[in-house]
C-alpha cells in the first residue's frame, strides 16, 4: 500500500510557542499551500486519515479522496501543562529533565515521545490490514517523525534530525509486515 504522510500547512503566529495538541489557526497562506499539496498528490486516494485537529482536517478536506476519517492517534504529542506557553517561559526545573530524556520523560500532564510512538505504531499496524492501495495521512511533525521510526527503524533519540516542513509529503510503501516497509520519496511544499 502506498501511504502519503503529509504534515499540515503553516499555522498562524506559532513561533516560539509550545502548541502540541492545542488548536491553532492556519496561516493566511493556507489556500495556496493546500493547492500545491493537492497538485503533488495522486488523482484520488482510497481514504484520507487525519488528526482531528483543525489544522489537519482542513487540509484533509481538500485532498481528492473517496472518504476522510479522523483518528486521535494521529494527534501531535501532548505537551500537557506546557501547551500554549512560550518555550522560554517553561521553567528549567521542568524543561531540563525532559530535554535530557525526551524519549521517556513526559511534560507535566503530557506524554513522552515513546507514548506518541506507541500510538502511531499501533495506527500503522492496523493500517496494514486495510484493503486499500493508496491512502493519505494528514498529521503533525512529531507523528511524521514517529512514522519514520516505526517504518524504517530510525531510533527515537534521533528523530529530531529528520526535517519535517509544513506541507511536506513523505511517501512510504507499507508492506504486509514491517520487513517489507520502505521509503519512496519526499516532496517539500
In tens, the pLDDT along 32-59 reads: 999 999 999 999 999 999 999 999 999 9
pLDDT at res. 67? 96
Residue 138: closest CA among 24, 58, 28, 20: 58
The secondary structure element, H or E, covering residue 6 is strand 2-7
Whether 28 and 9 have beta carbons less than 8 Å apart is answered as no
In whole angstroms, give the CA distance from residue 70 to residue 134: 17
Q: In which band, very low, low, confident or very high, does the pLDDT at 178 lie, cut at 50, 70 and 90?
A: confident
The residue whose grid cell reads 506559532 is 14
CB 74 within 8 A of CB 128: no
In the chain, the domains with their CATH numbers are 2-187 (3.40.50.1240)
Whole-model pTM: value is: 0.95
State the burial class of residue 56 (Cβ atoms within 10 Å of its Cβ: 0-12, 13-18, 19+): buried
Q: pLDDT tier at 185 (50, 70, 90 boundaries)?
A: confident
The predicted-structure confidence for 58-78, as pLDDT tens digits, reads as follows: 999 999 999 999 999 999 999
In degrees, rounded to 5, the angle at the alpha carbon of residue 1 between the alpha carbons of residues 52 and 67 is 40
- Which tens digits make up the pLDDT trace of 135-148? 999 999 999 999 99
CA distance 119 to 134: 21
pLDDT digits 0-9 by tens, 109-136: 999 999 999 999 999 999 999 999 999 9
- Min mean pLDDT across 4-8, 29-33, 119-123, 181-185 is at 181-185
Amino acid at each position: 500500500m502506498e501511504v502519503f504522510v503529509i504534515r499540515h500547512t503553516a499555522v498562524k503566529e506559532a513561533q516560539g510557542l509550545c502548541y502540541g495538541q492545542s488548536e491553532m489557526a492556519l496561516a493566511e497562506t493556507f489556500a495556496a499551500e493546500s493547492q500545491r499539496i493537492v497538485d503533488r498528490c495522486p488523482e484520488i486516494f482510497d481514504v484520507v486519515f487525519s488528526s482531528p485537529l483543525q489544522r489537519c482536517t482542513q487540509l484533509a478536506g481538500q485532498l481528492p479522496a473517496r472518504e476522510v476519517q479522523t483518528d486521535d492517534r494521529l494527534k501531535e504529542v501532548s505537551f500537557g501543562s506546557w501547551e500554549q506557553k512560550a518555550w522560554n517561559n517553561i521553567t528549567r526545573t521542568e524543561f531540563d529533565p525532559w530535554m535530557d530524556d525526551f524519549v521517556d520523560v513526559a511534560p507535566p500532564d503530557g506524554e513522552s515521545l515513546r507514548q506518541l510512538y506507541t500510538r502511531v505504531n499501533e495506527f500503522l499496524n492496523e493500517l496494514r490490514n486495510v484493503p486499500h492501495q493508496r491512502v493519505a495521512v494528514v498529521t503533525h511533525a512529531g507523528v511524521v517523525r514517529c512514522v519514520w521510526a516505526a517504518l524504517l527503524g530510525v531510533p527515537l533519540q534521533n528523530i529530531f534530525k529528520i526535517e519535517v516542513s509544513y506541507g511536506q509529503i513523505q511517501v512510504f510503501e507499507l508492506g504486509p509486515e514491517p520487513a517489507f516497509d520502505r521509503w519512496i520519496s519526499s516532496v517539500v511544499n
